[in-house]
């Protein structure tokens, strides 16, 4: 697969978001199947794998660590700190980036990931009670100690990115970005480009909506996170269906699938953009990876850009409480 740069890190142009293997999208396959699936992703060219302490919590890091242990020197692993999780009741958690918690969380992540270093360590969500300079300074210390190679931010705004970068260079920013979530474009993307920071879109396929596999009348079970997302109410799905119709039309003309069009559009937005679609199905993995080799025509790109830029999406993105810190 083609590669791209996230600061000092060389990664596959499309990574693998591992969250859905453990939580949020209904019952997971057997652990042995997921380990084999993760290693198959590497065989197909993926070298960038994204997890987090809070996914599970803890179980996803452990899964990714076991799966990638034999491949450790050939892959880039990203994980995240930023939540104070009650170990007696893991559902009880709060945003926290206290320096002592960053350190203890990182040590625990290293153990679960079965490694002596984390390639890319993100602050998962900005903590308004801890100055970002203190967060960046703590990560800088971990980098100096060799426990972390590079620093990232998630759901951060332009000012936060600049302040953090002045203390410890930021390698990557991970915010939601897709054809129906273009919020990073006015300020965050230009800031990343100016400072030489990579950008990692989470939910690049709109939690499946942009693939055309989610019907406008679909409902979701309680163990599917989309059941709580404002953009996945039947009313919102119906109102946003024109985006899916557009992607489908472009896919037909490009001899591609809607998922591939959505990913190829993201890749066209900048040379340091690395989407991390998540899946647990091999045929979807192969489909997503193939998007790295699709070049959409200028007409198709312009059509997608203009139509979605002028479209008023119904429903708040993510949980409905997402905002740049």
Catalytic annotation, residues: 55
SS (H, E, C) 43-77: HCCCCEEECCCCCCCCHHHHHHHHHHHHHHHHCEE
Alpha carbons 276 and 150: distance in angstroms, whole number:
18
Dihedral angle over CA of 44, 46, 47, 50, nearest 10: -140
* Residue 303, preceding peptide bond in cis (omega within 30° of 0): no
Give CA–CA dist 299/249, Å, rounded.
Answer: 13
Q: Residue 323 is encoded by which pair of tokens?
A: 């905002």
Residues 6+ apart with CB under 8 A from 129: 96
269 to 6, 21, 86, 185: CA distances (angstroms): 15, 28, 40, 10
Among the listed residues 209, 1, 186, the one whose alpha carbon sits nearest the alpha carbon of residue 175? 186
- If phi > 0 it is left, if psi is from -120 to 50 it is alpha, else beta; for residue 277 that is beta
């Amino acid at each position: 697969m083609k590669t791209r740069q996230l600061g000092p890190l060389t990664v596959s142009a499309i990574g693998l978001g591992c969250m859905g293997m453990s939580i949020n999208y209904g019952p997971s396959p057997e652990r042995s199947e997921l380990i084999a699936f993760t290693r198959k992703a590497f065989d197909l060219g993926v070298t960038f794998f994204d997890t987090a302490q809070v996914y599970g919590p803890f179980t996803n890091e452990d899964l990714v660590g076991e799966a990638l242990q034999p491949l450790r020197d050939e892959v880039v692993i990203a994980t995240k700190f930023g939540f104070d999780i009650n170990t007696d009741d893991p559902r009880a958690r709060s945003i926290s980036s206290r320096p002592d918690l960053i350190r203890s969380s990182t040590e625990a992540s290293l153990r679960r990931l079965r490694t002596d270093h984390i390639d890319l360590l993100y602050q998962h969500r900005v903590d308004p009670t801890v100055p970002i300079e203190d967060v960046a300074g703590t990560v800088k210390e971990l980098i100096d100690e060799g426990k972390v190679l590079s620093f990232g931010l998630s759901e951060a705004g332009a000012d936060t990115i600049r302040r953090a970068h002045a203390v410890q260079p930021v390698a990557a920013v991970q915010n939601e970005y897709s054809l129906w979530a273009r919020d990073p474009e006015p300020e965050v993307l230009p800031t990343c480009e100016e400072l030489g920071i990579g950008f990692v879109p989470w939910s690049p396929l709109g939690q499946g909506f942009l693939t055309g596999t989610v019907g406008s009348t679909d409902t979701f079970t309680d163990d599917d996170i989309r059941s709580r997302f404002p953009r996945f109410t039947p009313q919102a799905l119906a109102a946003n269906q024109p985006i899916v119709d557009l992607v489908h039309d472009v896919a037909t003309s490009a001899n591609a699938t809607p998922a591939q069009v959505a990913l190829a559009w993201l890749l066209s937005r900048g040379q340091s953009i690395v989407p991390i679609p998540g899946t647990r199905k091999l045929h979807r993995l192969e489909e997503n990876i193939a998007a790295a080799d699709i070049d959409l025509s200028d007409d198709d790109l312009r059509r997608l850009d203009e139509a979605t830029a002028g479209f008023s999406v119904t429903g708040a993105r993510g949980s409905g409480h997402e905002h740049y810190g």
